[in-house]
Amino acid sequence: MRGRPKRLRKINYFPEITYFKPAGIPLRDLDEVVLTLDEVEAIRLAELEDLEQEEASQKMKISRVTFLRILHSAHKKIADSLIYGKAIKMKGGEYIMPNLDGTGPLGQGPVTGRGAGRRNTGRGQGWGGTAECVCSKCGEKVPHQRGCPCVQIKCPKCGSRMSGVFCRPE
């Protein structure tokens, strides 16, 4: 007998950079910890936005207990990575990320992390829609280049790093 399906967690942030590793150690020599995107969102809401548990759980459209469980899991994985020198990869999870038009971050409908990494679906290759990279200094806008994080693009006017729609919290 099956239990009920997991409720998808709403996230409003998709990190441009999805991999961190200790400096000076080859990737082949590192263990890897996977931090799901709903865990990243819980960390963002609790630690960066300083939201109370109830408010953060409402933003993610989950119960407060579920939010705490996700947050605890994220903290444990981050601590494991820092203490034991493991790489952190951010991907997957049980989430939905509505865009302004409700199509999700890739313009392909609601995105769930189920099965992520089992086949090449194009996820993790940047925004596929009509997003723009914006310069934080002068406000210059350029079309986002699929497969290239906005932070790696320099502003054509002032040379500063750009930021994208998913680099800024809502």
pLDDT the model gives residue 7: 78
Amino acid code (one letter) for 68: L
Whether residues 89 and 152 share a domain: the answer is: no
Please tell me the total count of domains within the chain.
2
User: Domain check: are 130 and 157 in the same one?
Assistant: yes
One domain for residues 90 and 131: no
CA 128 to the chain's CA centroid: 15
Domain boundaries, position 162: 125-170
Considering the domain architecture, whether residues 35 and 54 belong to the same structural domain is answered as: yes
Per-residue pLDDT at 64: 95
What is the structure's pLDDT at 165?
59
My answer on whether 135 and 88 are in the same domain is no
CA distance 52 to 67: 11
pLDDT in tens, 15-70: 888 899 999 999 889 999 999 999 999 999 999 999 999 999 999 999 999 999 99
49 and 133 both lie in a single domain: no
Same domain, 134 and 101: no
Task: Report pLDDT for 104.
Answer: 45
Please, what is the end-to-end C-alpha distance for the chain in angstroms? 40
Q: Which pLDDT tens digit goes with each residue over 103-139?
A: 444 444 444 444 444 333 333 334 344 577 888 788 8
* Per-residue model confidence (pLDDT) at position 168: 42
Asked if residue 109 and residue 76 are part of one domain, the reply reads: yes
The β-bridge relationship of strands 132-135 and 95-96 is unpaired
